[in-house]
Each structure stands twice: as structure tokens, then as C-alpha cells.
Structure 1
Amino acid sequence: MKHFKTLKNFLLEHKKRYILGIIWLVIVDILQLIFPQILKKITDLLQSNQLSLDELLNYAMLIMLLGLGTGLGRYFWRIYIQTTARKAEYYLRNRLFSHLQSLSTNYFNTHKTGDLMAHATNDINAVRTALGPGVVMIIDSVFITITTLIMMIKTTNLLLVILALFPLPFLAFSVQKMGKVIHKRFRNVQETFSDLSDRAQENFAGVRVVKSFVQEEEEIKKFSKVNKNNFDKNMKLIKVSGLLRPLIQFISGISFLIVIWYGGILVIEGQISLGDFVAFNSYLSLLVWPMMAIGWVINILQRGSASMERINNILFEKPDITDSDNTLDTINNIDGHITFQNVWFKYPNSNGYALKNINIDIKEGTTLGVVGRTGSGKTTLVNLILRLYDIDKGNIFIDNIPIRNFLIKNLRENIGYVSQDNFLFSTTVKQNISFAFEKDIDDNKIYNAAKKAEVYDNIIDFPNGFNTSLGERGVTMSGGQRQRTAIARAIIKDPSILILDDSLSSVDTQTEERILKNLKDVMEDKTNIIIAHRISTVKNADHIIVLDEGEIVERGTHEELVNNNKIYNDIYVKQMLEEKIENI
């Protein structure tokens, strides 16, 4: 199975466990082959009235021992094969998650969360089933088929064997054809399950929007439509996979019919004994399992192959942003001098440039304010500093070194970033603030960061203070509390570059003023970039730029820009008017 080559290293590492499991499986199969011979012996002795009570007890004891050995063997092959399949599941899920963490931001812009969740759950389960029960059924069916055929030929009439096995080629041909259909339809099932997961995940995440717009019924209809599609695809799969077992039973029934007819004639004519006939039927019963297993194996392997193919599509995906060949891995600390030189950038799959001919020089220890209308390119600007995207033309330098020459890890560790969405994890407040640290840090540092972000008093009012667990995405906090917690998370890193991306929009002007005053000491030795819609947030910046449609249309200090009577002044006048109206 070509799609399973991704697991080559894992399978080589655990081959001993698989080998031991297969050995125990073969032992079980050999023990099963002894049963028909015991039945043959007992039947012939009974027919000739030569079976004594002691011999009957001995045979019964032998059957019990064989049953015990078979039970132990089945336990051990399960321990070795099934647990290895579980380890493969664990390994693959970790590998998938780790790889997703390495992919660039743009990948998650084009792939839905629900779809990725389906890969990490349903698809990996299908692969685990293929590597566990699938392997068992392959070995079991192949070994039992070969050895049973040998025993049938050696102990019974050759013509009877040929007639009994005559229907099997039709079975093999049918299973092969159906297997291809199963593979295609199971892939469709997994894709529709991804759509279903994505619809549910998105709806749960946006449940407050749904309720506020009274769209529950409409969302139920949309979910029902996706659910119906998932149901229909599963039904199409079942219609094919459900035929496998009845088909195998029908063909095996034909084989038994042939054996009863022709084998009965041979017994009547004395060419074989009644014990031979009973043993032959027992062997044929053993063959029914491999014939049934063929169907299950094809089903399981095709499902596993389809799922592995889907997982491989992610594992083979390369990140857009990687460390370059010219990376200077010795640079761990950044001073913070940032230079944009004729920078042009457009998002993947976009025709228009989001930023055009950007030239900025931000000296270390200074603060740059960035103002502009919605969609003017403010967030895009800082995304380039974080190397979430690479530029199309021009250069970005940090400390006069091209940004591509920094290790991505080192670059981002030196930047404290507060994004617009203020994402918080569903852990404790303390863990959210100390997110940047791998080990536990001094609580006083956490408290101090919270105080500077003006969120300390809010947190200690929570039921468990800093140990209060937050809801999904920090939903149990208000918008302002989330913003301030995110600010605390950024400043506790003590980064060389601090970026605040519209991170004070949800707090009132008085709280904003206190936060900026608290941050004055924090920002003093850092390079700071403050993006804001409110002029009050950036008015004290050393330098301010105004973006409009991806271009810098104004630059200067607050006083200079107010006197320009352009976009900045227009925004400033409107906001001053709004403040006066609010204070009336």
C-alpha cells in the first residue's frame, strides 16, 4: 500500500513486535488445524465402535488443552499487534499535530478547522484499524488458506478439493472490483465528515452571533443539509461494503453444497471414510473465515489507505515561511532597529498589493504609531515583521541584517505581539499570561505584568483569582479584559520589539490612559509599534505614519499631522467631536 510508506520508519522500529504477534497468530492457526484431525479420529472410532471411555476422556482433555493454547495465543497476538497499532495511532497523531504547528499562517487561512480535526480523529482511527485488525486478517487469512488447502489435499480426495474451491476465483474477482469502489466512496465519506465537523465547530464557536441574530432555525437547516450529505455518502459506501459479507457467504454456501453432494457420494461408495468427510467439512469451515476476512481486509485496508492518503496530503505540505540558507543562527538577541526599504507585498492568491512601496526607519528605543482606515494594511505591516508572510519586493532589515537571515524562532522570541483577536486558551489566567515560557515562572512577574496591563484587579475578583480557568477562547472574560490579559502576556516576555495591534480598542479612554502610562517604563528601552484607530493611543509616539490603501500617505509627529489637514487630521477632528458629544 503506497500511502503507508509515510509510516516506514515507525514500522521498522516496531517490526519485532509485529513479528512476535505474527508468530503467536500462526501458532493459533496451527492449533486450529489440529481440531479437524481429532474430529476425524473420533468419528472413525465411533463408526467402528472402537472408542473407549478412557480414549474419549483423553480426546476431550486434548481438545481442552488446544482450546487453552488457542486462547493464550490470541491474547498474546493481540498484545503485540493491537497495542502496536495503538502506538502507531499515537505516533501519527503527534506527528500530524507537530507538522501542523510547523506550517505557515496562510495554510490555516485556506484549510478549515473542522477538516483538520477530522484528519486527526476519523482518518487516524481508520489507519490504526488497518495496522491492527487489517494486519491480523491478512496474515490469518493467507496462512489458514494455504495450510488448510494442503491438509485438505493430503487427507482427502483431490477432485473434491477442486470442486469445493471452484467458486473462489469468482469471489476474488468480485472483491477486487468492489475494493476500488470502496476506496473511492470511503474517501468521499471522510471528506463529508470533515465538512460536518467544520460546520459544527464553526457554529459552536459562533453560537453567540447565531443567538443574537436569532438564526438558530436557519443554522439547524444548514447543519441538516451537511448532515444529510454525510448520511447519503455513508449509505453509498454501505451499499457496496454491505454486499461483501453476503457475497462471501453465498459463495461459501455453494462450496458446502458441492461438498455435501459429492463428498456424500464418496462416503457412500467407500472412497473416503465418514471421518474424512467430517474433517473435510471442518477444514472447509476454516476456509470460510479467510473468505470472509478477504472482504473485511479489503474494506479495512481501502479505508485505511484512503485516510492515509488524506493525512499524507498534510504531511507532505511544505511551510511557506522557512529559515533560509543564509540564516545566522548565532543571533539570539535583537536591539530592535527596524527598516522597511521599498517593500511591496500581496497575499497569496491575490492580484492586488496589500502594501506598496513602504519605506520606514524605526530606531531602537523609539515608538512608531500606525493609523489608517480599516483595510489600509496596518496589520499586514506587522505580520511582515513577524515573518508570518514573506515580502514580494524590497527588503526588511532588523539591526541592519536582512530579516530572512534570522532564525524564525529567534526572531519571534524577541517580539512581543498583541494581536487584534486577543486569543486566549481555555486554561487558567496564570497559564495564559505565562504562555511564552516553557517552565513555571515567579508568580510576582505574572502579577506585575497584570498590574501594568490594568487587569490585576479584575483577575483577583474572579472565583479562583489567577488560577481561574477561562472558557473557550477566553469567553468568560469581557473584551477589554481579554485585551489587557493579552497585553500582560506580551510584556512579560520583556521583548526587544513590542507590537500592539489595535489592542486598546475595547477599553475606555481613562483605562487606556492608565495602561499607556504603566507601559511607559516597559516601552522605554524597546522598539514599539502601536497600531490604533484612536488618535489618543498614538499621539505620544515618536513618529506616526498614516496608511491608506497599502501606501504611506502621511508621516510625522502628532502635531505635524494635525496641522496637515489630511486623513490624520480628519480622523482626529471626528474623534474629538465624538468625545465632546459623549461628555455632554
Structure 2
Amino acid sequence: MNSSVLLRFFKSRKLSYIIGFAFMFAASFIQTLFPKVLGSAVDLMKDNGFEPGQVLTQVFWMVLIAAVVFLCTFLWRNIIIANGRNLECYIREELYRHFLKLSPGFFSSRKTGDLIAYAINDISAVRMTFGPATAMSFNGIVICISSVYFMFASVSPSLTLLTLSPLPFIILLMLFSGRKVQTRFRIVQNQFGAVSDRVQENISGIRVIKAYVQERSEMEKFSELSSRMKQANLDLIKVSAALPAMIEFGFAVCFVMNLMFGGRMVLRGEISIGDFVAFNGYLSLIVSPIVSIGRIVTIFQRGLASLGRLNDILRVQPEIMDLPHALPIQPEGSMELRQLTFCYEGSDVPALRDISLVLPKGHTLGIIGKTGSGKSTLASLLFRFFGVEPGHILLDGRDINDYALDPLREGLGVVPQDTFVFAASVKDNIVLFKDGYTDADVQHAAALSQIAGSIEAFPEGYDTLLGERGVNLSGGQKQRLAIARALIRKPAILILDDALSAVDAVTEGQILNSLRQTRKGKSNILISHRVSGIMEADEIIVLDKGRIAERGTHELLLKKGGMYYDIYTEQLEEGEVC
């Protein structure tokens, strides 16, 4: 775990931790007084002439000790364990905040199931380490040190050394098995991520699986992953389950040695029966913390494995960040590209090559080209989802890197190819959970995107809950909902990235006409594979293999008889152009 994240949390909770550990120390230390008082009571009762009052005094002290231990234990558990939960919540929020800062390229190279495992299983393991495991460790250390001290000082140093002689072997065993637990738990977490990813992927694509009759194939793949996860857990259990059993066996040896040597010392008169009882009491107190060491070691090793996994994520630096001098302003609408060339990481072929163009404020730019020609890449660069060298993209005459990310993106509106619908109401999907929009604003945006009629036909209108990823909407409805989401923000530059591909020609024409009517004075970039979606643009560029192959108005490009003309003719024959 990033040390600064943990330090910030511990500093903010410093006082509560001090108070919690103070109560824990008090409970642990006072608990070790009980065997001594019990031993004194036994010595008093073995005498024929003992006074009941003296025994009752010892009983009073034992009851008082138990009451104080109960109170202190109740207080420290409420403080320390609660802080463990607070730490879990804090780390999860920090991890989520870190996710939101990372660029889309990071998520395209990671599996969703793995990221879910980080946010749930790994953080839970960290919470167990810095919550219950830390508390058990501190509690056990205080009890063991205090008990051993009283065993030495109040009973017999020689008996203490003989009885506790197996402890070094137990400690070595714990250290050896701890490393194996850490390694095997990391494998378990990786397998959990793989299973989670498979479940998430199959649920999202359940219609495709059923349509192509892939249930049996997917079940076989899932069974294989599930078996691997089971085996990884069994390998972990073999190590973690053996440790407590071996520790308990070691302590059984300790009690046998105490019975042999302690009993002989009582018979010889070297220690009293009360001392022998007290010694057994101290030994019993030590048993619980030492036996718990097996569990503590397992928890710590699991926590360390999870910390390592979380570190791997938190060390990933965002590729796109605000510059120190970034301007907190929104673009007003003009754009210029100067010899823009861009290549995706890991690819030797540029997605865009030497692109130069000017989009004056209030104008509309149309972009058309075959699949893979670089159309969507341009939209991603305008939103700075990927880094671009200074001087190649200018907005209002300023380099795009000089804008702070949030206001830059707030000034742009995009409807991507892959429309995403949240499992929320229609209204929430349009306003995107932001306050400040009235019902009239929502209805106006829906009307402009030609989806108002569909929404009003829903059972609860704008309050109708949509399924995950908009499963209860058609492709065209999803696109129109996404267009309403972009229009309600009234962006300076609106980008439709093939956002009308799933609507019919009539609806497409109505939406484009609405845009022309309502977005006068604002800039638009229409990316499409259909000529009908861009033919009214002020300028059209035709992209081919990342280069501008042709540019001009619709009429001019038709006269050239080049690539645009070929696309137009083909679509005209197919009835896609009216």
C-alpha cells in the first residue's frame, strides 16, 4: 500500500488509536493479575485455620479484575475494530479516486474482475491486518510479556524456562509457514479476479452466449477457472490449517512439562500449591495469544500479499494530468489541428497522420471514413483521453494541454460509439446525476434528441428505471438518450461519434435538423460512416488510413468524383441516402 495513504489515515485517527491501545494495554495487563490473586486464594484455603473474610477479599479482587477487563476490552474493541472499518472505507475511496484519475488505456489492459477483487477482497485483507490482527498482536504481546514476567518473578525462573522451552521451535515454524501463506494467498486472489471477470463478462454478454448456443462451452471454461480457484484455496488451507494444530501440540508439550517439573517442585516444597495454580493460570493466558499467532500470521501474510497487489495499482501514474499552469476555463468553440500525428501505445502504425484543419466557432465539421481510419481517435484526443504533444491541437488559440481537464471536458459534449446506460432512472441518465437541471431542461433535451415520445410511453415516464447497460432499451433509444445527455449540457463543441448509426434515416434527419436549429453559434463535429449524417456540414473531411484523403463541402466532394463520391454512390444504391 502506498505509505502516504496509510500515514494520512493514521495521522487523522492518531488520538483515537492512542486511546484504544491504552485501553487494550490496561485490559491485557490487568488480566494477568488474575492468576496471582487466584493462587493466593488457594494458598489461604489450604490452611485449616483460614479466615473466610480473607478468601472473600481475594474473590472481591477477582470480580473487580474481571469487571475492569470487561470494560476496557469493550472500549478498545469499539475503537480499534471501528478504526479498521474506517480504514477499509478510506482505502476503498482512495483506490476508487485513483481509478477515476487513470486514462482509458489503463482499463483497456486490465480485466474488470481483477479491479473488483482489488476493491473488495484485497482491501478487506488489509483491514483485517490493521484491525483484528494488529489488535490481537498487541494484546498477545502484553499478555505474554506480563505473564512470563510474573512466572519468573513470582513462581520459579527454572520452571518457566523448562516449561516454555518448546516456544522457539513454534516461532521458527510460524516464520517458515508465513512465507508460504503469503505466496499462496496471492495466487488465490489472482484466481478470484479471473473468476470474477468471467462472471461479469458472461452476465454482460448473456444474450450473445444464448444466441450462439455457447452455454456448454462457457460452463466448461468457468468450471476450469472454478477448479483452479478451488485448488489454490486448498493449497492455502494445507499451510494455514496445519499451523494452529502444530502450535497447540507444542503447548500441550508445555503443559506436560509443567505438570512433571512443577508437580515435583510442589512435592519438594520449592513452590506452593497456589504458585502452581498461578503458574498454570499464566500458562493458560499465554496459550490463547500463541495459538492465535497462527491465525495472525496468516492474516498478516494475506494482508501483505494484498498490499503488494494494491501497490501495483497505486503505483500506476495517470498518463494525463493537469499541468502546473493549467487554466481553469472552458473552451468557447474554435479548434485548430496542426500536423497532428498520433500512434497508440504498442502500435507501430499511426492512427492519425499529419492532420491539419480549422473549425471556426459556430461551424460544423463532418468526418467520414472506413472503419479504422482514425475517426474516433480524434474525438478521444480532444477529450485528452490520450496524451498529445504540445502545439498540435489548439482550442480558441490555446494549446489543449494548457486547459485544466475538468473544465476542458465540461466544455465539450460527446456521444460515443459505444453508448453506456446506467442502471438508474431515465432522468438520471440524462442529467448524469448532476443537480441544477429542471424537469423542463430534461424534457427539452429529450425532445431535441427525438426520444421524448418513447420516454413518455414508459410506465413511469422520466422516472422509469433502466436495466444494467440499458438492457430494456433498443440500440436507437440508447443513442438518442446519450444525445440528450450531451445536449442538456449545452457544450461549446458537440461531438457525435457515429451516434446515429442505430436510428432510421427519418429520425436521423429530425435530430440533425434540431441540432441546426438549437446550436447556432456553437461548434459541432459529426463523425459518421453514413453520408446522410454529415452532408449538411460546413466542411467535410474524408479520412483514409489516418490521413485526410479529401476535404470540402458535400457538393464539392461529389464533383471531385473521389472516395467521398464512391461512398455516396454506394450508400445511395443501398437506400441509405435520400
> What TM-score, normalized to structure 1?
0.96
Q: Deviations over 1:436-491 (max 9, x none)?
A: x7324211011000001000010011111101111111222111111001001101
2:570 maps to: 574
Note if 1:404 corresponds to 2:374: no
Deviations 1:305-331 (A, max 9, x none): 2212211222222111112244233xx
Question: Is 2:468 the partner of 1:469?
Answer: no
Residue pair 2:426, 2:462 contacting (<8 A) in 1 also? yes
Aligned partner (choices 356, 360, 363) of residue 363 of structure 1: 360
Q: Structure 1 residue 538 and structure 2 residue 534: aligned?
A: yes
Which residue matches 1:523? 519
For 2:532 and 2:450, how far apart are their aligned partners in 1?
17
Offset, 1:334: 2.3
- Given that 2:38 and 2:58 are in contact with CA atoms closer than 8 Å, whether structure 1 keeps it comes out as no
Alignment partner, residue 385 of structure 1: 382
Superimposed CA distance per residue, residues 89-108 of structure 1 (whole angstroms, 9 cap, x where no aligned partner) = 11111111111111111111
Correspondence for 2:96: 97
- Aligned partners of 1:58, 1:159: CA distance in 2, in Å? 31
Code of the aligned partner of 1:225: E
Deviation by residue 1:8-39 (Cα, 9 ceiling, x = unmatched): 11112212111111111122222321221222
The answer to whether the Cα contact below 8 Å between 2:320 and 2:386 also exists between their aligned partners in 1 is: yes
1:299-357 Cα shifts (integer Å, max 9, x gaps): 1112112212211222222111112244233xx24222111111110111212111111
The answer to whether residue 72 in structure 2 is matched with residue 73 in structure 1 is: yes
Q: Could you report, residue by residue, the CA deviation over 1:350-402 in whole angstroms, capped at 9, with x for unpaired residues?
A: 12111111111111111111111111110001111111112358611111111
Task: Give the letter for the 1:427 counterpart.
Answer: A
Equivalence for 1:511: 507
* Aligned equivalent of 1:131: 130
Q: Which amino acid aligns with 2:475?
A: G
Q: Which position in structure 1 is the counterpart of 2:480?
A: 484
**Which amino acid counterpart does residue 94 of structure 1 have in structure 2?**
E
In structure 2, C-alpha distance between the alignment counterparts of 1:61 and 1:201, rounded to whole Å = 61
Query: Equivalent of 1:348, from 339, 345, 349?
Result: 345
Q: Which residue number in structure 1 is paired with residue 112 of structure 2?
A: 113
- SS of corresponding position for 2:261: helix
Q: Which amino acid aligns with 1:116?
A: L
Q: Deviations over 1:397-418 (max 9, x none)?
A: 1111111111111211110110
Q: How does 1:141-220 map to 2 (within 5 A)?
A: 141-220=140-219
Answer yes or no: is the 8 Å Cα contact 2:5–2:91 preserved in 1.
Answer: no
Please state how far the C-alpha of 1:65 moved relative to its aligned partner.
Answer: 3.1
CA distance in 2, matches of 1:514, 1:180: 66
- In structure 2, what is the Cα distance between the partners aligned to 1:262 and 1:5? 52
Distance in 1, Cα, partners of 2:321 & 2:512: 35
Is the 1:344–1:394 contact (alpha carbons within 8 Å) kept by the matching residues of 2? no
In structure 1, the partner of 2:551 is 555
Gap change, CA 1:5 and 1:487, over 3 Å in 2: closer
Q: Which residue of 1 aligns with 2:446?
A: 450
2:330 and 2:410 in contact (8 A); partners too:
no
Kept in 1, the 8 Å contact 2:40–2:58? The answer is: no
CA distance in 1, matches of 2:464, 2:49: 82
- Which residue number corresponds to residue 24 of structure 1? 23
**Pairwise CA distance, 1:180:** 1.5
Distance 1:347 1:133, change over 3 A: same
CA distance in 1, matches of 2:390, 2:54: 92
User: Aligned partners of 1:328 and 1:21: how far apart in 2?
Assistant: 46
Paired letter, 1:80:
I
Question: Which amino acid letter does the alignment assign opposite residue 419 of structure 2?
Answer: N
Where 1:579 maps in the other structure, the secondary structure is: coil
- The amino acid across from 1:25 in the alignment is M
Alignment length (residue pairs) = 578
Gaps of 5+ in 2: none
Does residue 313 (structure 1) correspond to residue 320 (structure 2)? The answer is no
Q: Secondary structure at the match of 2:392?
A: strand
Does the aligned pair in 1 maintain the 2:2–2:314 contact within 8 Å?
no
- In the TM superposition, residue 54 of structure 1 has moved relative to its aligned partner by 4.8
Check whether the contact 1:497–1:527 (CA below 8 A) recurs between aligned residues.
yes
Are 1:4 and 1:308, in contact at CA under 8 Å, matched by a contact in 2? no
Corresponding letter in the other structure for 1:350: S
Task: Determine the C-alpha separation between the residues in 1 that align with 2:460 and 2:170.
Answer: 66
Q: Could you tell me how far apart the structure 1 residues matched to 2:3 and 2:301 are?
A: 11
Taking the aligned partners of 1:24 and 1:323, their CA distance within structure 2 comes to: 46
* Alpha-carbon distance, 1:58 to partner: 4.5
- Could you give the per-residue CA deviations for residues 161-200 of structure 1, whole angstroms, max 9, x where no partner exists? 1101111111111111211221121112111111111111
Counterpart of 2:354, as a letter, is N
**Residue of structure 1 in register with 2:560 after alignment:** 564
Given residue 417 of structure 2, which amino acid in structure 1 is its aligned partner?
Q
SS state at 2:458 partner = coil
Unaligned stretches of 5+ residues in structure 1: none
Tell me how far 1:50 sits from its aligned partner. 3.7
Residue 229 of structure 2 corresponds to residue 233 of structure 1 = no
AA paired with 1:108? F
Cα–Cα, structure 1 residues 6 and 179, in superposed 2: closer, same or farther, change >3 Å? farther
- CA positional deviation for 1:522: 2.4
Name the SS for the 2:574 alignment partner: helix
Output the amino acid matched with 1:251: G
3-state DSSP of counterpart to 1:272: coil
The answer to whether residue 437 in structure 2 is matched with residue 441 in structure 1 is yes
Distance in 1 of aligned mates of 2:222 and 2:327: 50
For the pair 1:419 / 2:416, whether they are aligned, the reply is yes
Cα pair 2:421 2:429 within 8 Å, conserved: yes
- For 1:310 and 1:50, the matched residues in 2 are separated by 68
RMSD: 1.8
Contact 1:491 1:522 in 2 (8 A): no
SS in 2 for 1:244: helix
1:373 alignment partner in structure 2: 370
Q: Give the CA deviation at 1:218.
A: 1.0
CA distance in 2, matches of 1:27, 1:201: 49
The alpha-carbon deviation at position 424 of structure 1 amounts to 1.4
Q: Which residue of structure 2 aligns with residue 499 of structure 1? A: 495
